Each structure stands twice: as C-alpha cells, then as structure tokens.
Amino acid sequence: MLTTFENDLKAVIGHPTTLRPFVCNGSPLDCTVFLVGLNPATKLKAGFWDFWVPGVGFDREAWFKTYVDERVAAGPNPGKTRVTKASRTRRLINHMIEGAGSVKVLETNIYSTEKASLSDLHPNEKETAPFDFLLGRIKPRLLVAFGIDAHRHLAKQKLDAKVLEIPHFADREAGWSNDKAFKLGEQVKVFVGTA
C-alpha cells in the first residue's frame, strides 16, 4: 500500500519536487490526525523526497535536523539580530505532537509551496491538489486547523472527519505557550481514544 501511495504522490507533486506536501514520522497512511496550516513557511534547500524512505515513509527526524541546520546556516531574518533553531510555529507544533504521544500526526498545509507568507504565493502556487490527495487517500479522523485561512478552506469541504479550529501558532494574542500546545496534543490523544 505504501508503494502505491508513493507512486500516486509522485504523480501529484512530481519527483523531484519543490513542494512540501507533508511531514510525519513513518508512514503517512498510519496518521489519524492532520495538523493543517496554510503553507509551509520555511524554505529548505533539501527536497521532500530527500526524506522519503521507500517501504517506511517520511523520516521526520532527518527532516527536522536539516530544518535546524539550514535555519542556523541562513542566519537571522531581515531585521532580526539572532536566529532560533526553530520558528515559533515549528516549536509549538513539536510540543503539540509530543503531547499527542502515540497518535500519528501528519503535518500538512492547504498549499504545499514553501513561502514565508500567503502574500508571497503566486496565484499558480495556490494549488490544493497535494492536500486534496492526502485528504482523500488517508481519511484522517481529526483535522486540527490552525489559522483563519485554513479554517475557511476546510469549511468549504465535505468532510467525514471532525475539524478542530484553533488560532494560528504564530498568533501571539492567542496565548500559545509550549505547555498549551502540549495540552492540545493531549486533547487530540483523548479524541482519537488513545489516552
């Protein structure tokens, strides 16, 4: 099944590809929860398929190491004086996944193009085919949608899964903390019945 999924995904996103359709640990077919944002914000030199292991799935640990290495090597963003190993959003995602424990979470986005913000996306990069493919093929039980743009897109869909709408992790007014993100993961665990 994973080989068929891999081949079908290649038909959707290409190989090689500049897209990042998802990040997970192991087989995406085992994921019962999707964490859905708008688009991946950090552009990496390494490509999606560099972290794909045939017969196993996605190597999240290798991906995260590369993510950190590339962020540090790139130096601070314009107007900043220091670089963090992980963005605020990435740090909170990691805490949420840690809180979810054994629940398999697939991190994905409505759009798969890596750009710092929605305004940086060219109209032809606002393509939902990779997300639609994942949603149709994996059929998660729960979608945790962060940010108003993800909420709006999912509201237009006919979904069998429950949708939990949360503020974007980058929204400082939402009161996100490492602990709050971890507790969100624990709520996810309760929802899917593994607590």
Could you report the per-residue pLDDT of 34-91, keeping only the tens digit for each?
A: 999 999 988 899 999 999 999 999 999 999 999 999 999 988 877 888 888 999 999 9
Please tell me the total number of residues recorded for the chain in this structure.
195
Could you report the per-residue pLDDT of 116-174, keeping only the tens digit for each?
A: 777 788 888 889 999 999 999 999 999 999 988 889 989 988 888 999 999 999 888 99
What band does 182 get if pLDDT is binned at 50, 70 and 90? very high
Residues 107 and 33: their CA atoms lie apart, in Å, by: 9
Residue 117: its pLDDT value, please?
Answer: 77
Nearest CA to 49 among 126, 135, 112? 112
Q: What is the pTM of this model?
A: 0.93
Residue 122: its pLDDT value, please?
Answer: 86
Q: Could you say which DSSP state residue 29 is in?
A: G
Could you report the per-residue pLDDT of 91-116, keeping only the tens digit for each?
A: 999 999 999 999 999 999 999 998 87
Q: How many Cα atoms sit within 13 Å of 77 on the Cβ side?
A: 8
Could you report the per-residue pLDDT of 118-129, keeping only the tens digit for each?
A: 778 888 888 999
Q: How far apart are the first and last CA of the chain?
A: 28
CATH class of the domain whose range is 2-191? alpha beta
Residues 92 and 84: their CA atoms lie apart, in Å, by: 13
Q: In what order do the strands lie in the sheet with 22-23?
A: 22-23, 105-109, 33-37, 142-146, 162-166
In the chain, where are the structural domains located? 2-191
Residue 195: its pLDDT value, please?
Answer: 56
Residues 52 and 60: their CA atoms lie apart, in Å, by: 9
Neighbouring CB atoms inside 10 A of 48's CB total 25
